[in-house]
Chain A
Amino acid sequence: MRIVLDRARCEGHGLCEEAAPQLMHLDDEGELVLDREEISVTDSAANAEANAAVRVCPVAALRIA
């Protein structure tokens, strides 16, 4: 799977970072950085984190492709 960020929508809440600290973080300016975009289907922990991060975003800025 691949995580896709719609940067125009992102408001920098950072709830995704709390849900998926291994995959993404907000930088010092509050801009979201995807540390890992491509996730192997066999990496179940990362898959779960990615899904949780997408779910928690209240402004639909993240999706799974």
Chain B
Amino acid sequence: MSRPTEQAGRVDRVLIVGNGIAGLTAADTLRGAGFEGDLTIVGDETHAAYSRPALSKALLHDGDDLSHELAPPTHGATELLGVRATGLDVERRRVALDDGTDLPYDRLVIATGSRARRLSDLPEELTLRGLDDALHLRSRLAEKPSVIVVGGGPLGMEIASGCLAAGSQVTLVSQGVPLLLQLGPHLGEVFTAAARERGLTVVDTEYARLERGGAQAGASRVVLDDGTVLEADLVVTAVGDVPNTEWLASSGLVTSGPLTVDSRGLVRPDVAAAGDLAAFPTPYGIRRIPLWSSAIEQSKVAAAALIRGQEAPTLHFQPYFWTEQFGLSLKAVGYMPVVGPPAYVDGGPGGPALMRWAREDGTGVAAALNYRIPIPRLRRVTQQAA
């Protein structure tokens, strides 16, 4: 005989695994929807939830110690911090933790995010994913070490910018023009030009390998595709992220890689997933979009669906992305990268600019470069005919 809590529709206990912005938003949304039952959040870091985008921006550039802080939670959940989930049994509805406890749930939110992809097992290889990483990198920069950043995506470029601003000599190792893959050729060129102007050395390579050693103790070497060896006091890699889904291997949901959810963020009626680990339906296929606003929007939809099922609205997400680096500030709405030159809605090349790219399907991408504009207006620009 099943207990009342296991009957469909009855929700007494919700467990959220992951205390990043996705987990936090799920908790807030559940409470906002009137869920007054038992709510538990598990987080593998001992820190309170923080703003990850700030780590490679204000925290690194300006030494701003507060920009990543989030308002204290109001969800009243039981918080289990510094513990990691190790297993999920979807039939018995239990999550195992690395401290030996086994938590029951009626509904589960999987929000364990992702981790930095690494190029080696060397402890000399630094990455920037969590608050501890950011604080460590910042403390190392105090001695103005020479730095190699491997990875020409937004994170690698933000790190390079922060290291330069801290007074280091910085070489960026990139597969092709930095930001080309993420933003497209126009913005890639704009940012790369600004970076070079500020003193960044950009090196192009198909692949890079890390080795220990060099002239100085503790130094590292980066070997490029043509055999060129670069040496620096510090090597930071920013070569993508890997979904933290290995703990789900025994659940049968996924063994590694992204966890695919439906348009409401559900994996099954009693299990939702949101944030950097989730791949969800977009107009361009099932995709993972590991961005701040993506985690928040996914989480709102998923939490509502856990309570209201098919009556809950589906996700209609239009990506919002921003970056600050090399004296440039970019805000962009829409699916990137974009090809070709932009249409200038306001401003022009070389100055503050509001730009738009039209896609063949009638949608658009709007980007504001050193141009202050509220997101709702930027969203409207994506829809205008240029």
Contacts and interface: CB of A to CB of B under 8 A. Distances in A.
Given A30-B373, A55-B70, A13 B322 contact: yes
A22 B50 CA distance: 26
A18 B71 contact: no
Contact of B71 (A17, A30, A55): A55
B307 to A, nearest CB: 15
A34 B293 CA distance: 22
B32 interface: yes
Contact of A17 (B53, B58, B293, B376): B376
B54 A13 contact: no
B373 A59 contact: no
Interface in B365-381: 372-378
Contacts of A31: 372
B374 A17 contact: yes
Contacts of B331: 13
Contact of A59 (B32, B58, B296): B58
Q: How large is the interface on B (under 10, 10 to 19, 20 to 34, 35 or more residues)?
A: 20 to 34
B63 to A, nearest CB: 14
Interface string A25-52: 1100111000000000000000010011
Contacts of A17: 374-376
Contacts of B322: 11, 13
A52 B25 CA distance: 9
Given A55-B28, A55-B71, A58-B53, A14 B375 contact: yes
Nearest to A6: B66
A58 B58 CA distance: 11
A19 B25 CA distance: 12
A59 B54 contact: yes
A56 B53 CA distance: 12
B67 interface: yes
A9 B65 CA distance: 12
A26 B379 CA distance: 14
B212 interface: no
B374 A60 contact: no
Nearest to B33: A48
Binding site secondary structure of chain A: mixed
A15 interface: yes
A60 B376 contact: no
B51 A58 contact: yes
Interface in B319-348: 320, 322, 329, 331
A64 B71 CA distance: 8
Contacts of B58: 59
A60 B68 contact: yes
A23 interface: no
A55 B24 contact: yes
B70 A60 contact: yes
Given A12-B374, A14-B376, A48-B32, A55 B25 contact: yes
B51 A26 contact: no
Contacts of B293: 15, 56
Contact of B374 (A30, A48, A59): A30
A60 B67 contact: yes
A14 B373 CA distance: 8
A63 B24 CA distance: 16
A29 to B, nearest CB: 6
Nearest to B371: A30
B69 interface: yes
5 closest residue pairs by CB, A with B:
A30-B372, A26-B374, A14-B374, A14-B375, A54-B71
28 contacts: A9-B67, A11-B322, A12-B372, A12-B373, A13-B320, A13-B322, A13-B331, A14-B376, A15-B320, A15-B375, A17-B374, A17-B375, A18-B375, A30-B372, A31-B372, A51-B28, A51-B74, A52-B28, A55-B25, A55-B70, A58-B51, A59-B51, A59-B58, A60-B54, A60-B66, A60-B67, A60-B70, A63-B71
Given A14-B376, A54-B71, 17 more contacts: A9-B66, A11-B322, A13-B320, A14-B375, A15-B296, A17-B374, A17-B375, A17-B376, A26-B374, A30-B372, A51-B71, A51-B74, A55-B24, A55-B296, A56-B296, A58-B292, A60-B66
